[in-house]
Structure 1
Amino acid sequence: MLATEKAEAEKSAQRIRAADESYSKYSSGLATASQHQAVIDGLKESMMEFCSHNPGISAKDVMDMILLTHYFDTVGASPKSMSDKLIRHGPAGALKDVVAQIRRDACGDSS
C-alpha cells in the first residue's frame, strides 16, 4: 500500500512539473512574440519618420539600409567572423548590389 501511494505521489509531482514547464514555455513564447512585435512596430515608425523627412526614399530603401547595418553589426562582432563572412563587392558597388549579395548569401545561393 505504501509503495502505491508513493508511486501516485511521484506521478502527481511529475504532472505538476510538466504543467509548470509547459506554462513557462508558453509564457516565454508570448514574451518573445511581444518583443518581435515591438521591434516591428519600431521599425515601421522609424521608416515612416525617415521617409517623411527624405522625399524620394522608399520604405524598401530604408529596409535595405537596416539590413546592411545589421549585417555589418553581425559580422563585425568578432574579427574572425569579419574575415569569414564579409561579402566581396567592388568599389563602385551600390547599396542595392551589396544588399542583393547579402540576401543571396543568407539563402545559401553561391552563384
Structure 2
Amino acid sequence: MAKKQDWSREEQAVQAVQMAFDLSNDIQRAFRVSAAMQDMTTADMVRKVLHLPYRKGRARPRLTVTLKDEDFELLARKYELDPQDRAAIRQRVAEELQGFARQYLTASDQ
C-alpha cells in the first residue's frame, strides 16, 4: 500500500495544468538548444525563464523515440537481426546513435 506522502504527490500531479504555447520554430529551437546546452529539459528551461522552481539536472538523461512494429521490422533487416529480439535491436540503435553523436561533436569542433 502506498504511503500517505506518495498519494499527496499524485494528488498534486492531478491538480497540475499542462500548458502548450504555439510559438515560432525559431523560438522553440532557442529553448531546445538552450536547454540542451544547460543539460536541462525544455520544460525546465521554460520554468527557469519564468523564474519558477525547476530541476537543476535531468532526472534521467535519455533520448526517447516511439517505434512501431514496422519500425522494428525495418531495423531488424538493417542490422540483420530477428525482429522479435528487441533488446539486440535496442543495443544496435544505441550504438548507432552514439556513433552519430561522436561524429557530430567531432565535426562541430572543426
- TM-score > 0.5 by shorter chain: no
More helix as a share of residues? 1
Bigger Rg, structure 1 or 2? 1
Larger RCO: 1 or 2 (CA < 8 Å, sep 6+): 1
